[in-house]
Amino acid sequence: MILLSLSEIKKVYGEKVIFDSLSLTVDSSQKIGMIGINGTGKSSLLKIMAGLEVPDQGEVITSNELVIEYLPQNPDFDETSTVLEQIFKGNSPFMKVLREYEQVMVDLEVSPEDEGLQSKLLTLSEQMDRQGAWQLESEAKAILTKLGITNFNQKVGELSGGQRKKIALAGALIRPCNLLILDEPTNHLDNETIDYLEELLKNKKCGLVMVTHDRYFLERVANQIVELDQGKVYEYPGNYEAYLEQKALRESIEERMREKKQSLYKQELEWMRKGVEARRTKQKARKERFYELEESLDNQQKQSLELNLGTSRLGKKIIVLDEVSKSFGNQCVVKDFTYTVLRDDRIGIMGNNGMGKSTLLNMITGKIAPDSGKIEIGDTVKIGYYTQENREMDLKMRVIDYVKEHGEFIKTADGSLISASKMLERFLFPPILQYTPIEKLSGGERRRLYLLGVLMEDINVLFLDEPTNDLDIYTLQVLESFIDEFNGPVITVSHDRYFLDRVVDKLFVYKGNGEIQSIPGNYSDYLERMAKEKVTTEPIKKVKEVATPRKTTEPKLKFTYKEQKEYEQIDSVIETLENEIANLEQEMVQSATNFVRLQELTTAKEQKEEELMFQMERWEYLNELAERIANQ
């Protein structure tokens, strides 16, 4: 069932066109993951879907049965409400009964002999029965408990920011809806909670649209990827891996089209340069086509993030931690931790929220002092520290001036110099945006600018505290490539499982009570190790020895009738499939501008390739069997 349809919508902020002529349909079976470079309007699009903003042009068509639950990046809260009151907000009769029931239960704890409250409780219980609200109340408490919230009557104003985000998430998950819209739902959640959320969303019977940078989350939950790119929307059926394959195909076809246009442009440019006397009839129409072609090529310039900067010399002694401990009140977050940082270290710091993961980085950088132990920093060490807050940013400053604080020119790894303006362009800040005050940037654009500022410093050691929060996938890919080439140690606090798999080869795992365990490998290696440790070895039972039976003569191998026919025909079957795939690829090139047809052809090609893979495996088996039969 189609729940919502966007038709030719346009959104403008100031002079910036976020998107134009954008159309998208959402149905109840879709779990859409929305991606795109920060600043392309992902959050704005979610707000338009949720009815919180209206497009400047175009139409939003909704089903009469549409019921939306929306989780923004920064939810609003009633500071005086309890956890359950915040969860059960809403004006539906269903929610009103739940709220009243929970309030009466709280009042009865204070005045258990109050007959008026007892009578009201009986009436509300009957209403709960009629509306089937008991299950929802039970689910709410179960989800809150899974998210680490156990005091349901605590005031929201007493909770931390991370706990509030969990309550907002729980409310969106619990309240009945047929379209769930989530903006960065995994931010500030630990890995265990994200795993739980994945399972919950995969099994939830409703349409889902979410913006997230978590690539494993997209891989495991989404069945469609929607990409916003330079004001256009591209739809890809399947999960994140399928998106990568289809996007590579689209970009390959677009590159061929660009090359053809470049060739035509060179011919037309030569004609334009010959002068008026060489032109005959229809020269006006041809000139117009030339300028249209030139504009088309300008608009098709592919944006890409690129960063390959030089690093300063790093001596033998880098960072040495010797029996370091730190407590906050009665909570010990680091206890007797010893480690010597090496030049090629790629370390990920893992642990549940509130265990003090950032404390280790803050002690090394001198932001806080250890209670005991010693931290030694080498004389040549220059640490770049990307924190969770943009502390160094003056929001009134222009983007170009922020970068120029780090130098008018920046030296790259090959020794060449790049101007601050060109460096910003490489990091997807076009000239028109470079003279904008930082306060006018989106939250994600500020984070990207802040990251660029950190990486442009003359550093040789890199610390990253939750770098994947608020950074888009494209920026993360550049950061990962930068880390690959970085000639010094990198230590990162992160809950992003894909990022940890991609960049680290050692983990510091917070186990609780200040214990930090150093474990070799990345996140997937860690999961495999934990799974093996959970397996209990059963005692080996002694069995009574029995005499080994004599080996009998094995029957001769031979083809079955079906295998014989398959063996005779399989070469021609494989050849036919290969030809069909080649024909599909040719038609895909011809349908490069028709993305609906292109998706149909892509699906057909994938099915043929799967069939070809199966037939190749059968060919290998049958030929091996034929060889064994011949050698009997």
Place of tokens 């549940």: 352
Q: Distance between CA atoms of 534 and 537, rounded to whole angstroms? A: 9
Q: Distance between CA atoms of 164 and 148, rounded to whole angstroms? A: 11
User: Shortest CA distance to 315 belongs to which of 464, 458, 460, 486?
Assistant: 460
**Angle of helix 133-146 relative to helix 191-203, nearest 10 degrees?**
150
Buried b or exposed e, range 452-462, using 16+ CB within 10 angstroms: bbbbbbebbbb
Can you name the residues that pair with 327 across neighbouring β-strands?
332
Note the pLDDT of residue 249: 84
- Our separate counts of H helices and E strands in the chain read 20, 20
- Under the phi-then-psi rule, with left for phi > 0, alpha for psi from -120 to 50, and beta for the rest, what region is 258? alpha
Span 528-587, pLDDT tens digits: 888 887 765 445 444 444 444 444 444 566 667 677 878 888 888 888 888 888 888 788
Q: Distance between CA atoms of 159 and 167, rounded to whole angstroms? A: 10
Beta strands 506-512 and 490-493, pairing class:
unpaired
Same fold: 2-243 with 561-630: no
User: Shortest CA distance to 60 belongs to which of 71, 42, 45, 41?
Assistant: 45
Q: Distance between CA atoms of 233 and 229, rounded to whole angstroms? A: 6
Residues of the chain with pLDDT under 70: 90-92, 94, 132-133, 257-312, 390-392, 412-415, 535-559, 561, 592-595, 617
Note the pLDDT of residue 225: 95
Contacts of 142 (CB under 8 A, 6+ apart): none
CA gyration radius, the chain: 31
**Domain-wise residue ranges, the chain:** 2-243, 250-299, 319-532, 561-630
> What's the CATH code, domain 2-243?
3.40.50.300
- The answer to whether 3 touches 179, Cβ cutoff 8 Å, is yes
Task: Give the CATH number of domain 561-630; options: 1.10.3470, 1.10.287, 3.50.4, 3.30.750.
Answer: 1.10.287
Tell me if the pTM is above 0.75.
no
**Amino acid occupying residue 474:** Y
> What's the CATH code, domain 319-532?
3.40.50.300
Note the pLDDT of residue 464: 95
Note the pLDDT of residue 90: 64
Number of C-beta neighbours around residue 113 at 10 A = 7
The alpha helices in 319-442, defined as continuous H runs, are 357-364, 399-404, 420-426, 431-434
Q: Distance between CA atoms of 306 and 51, rounded to whole angstroms? A: 37
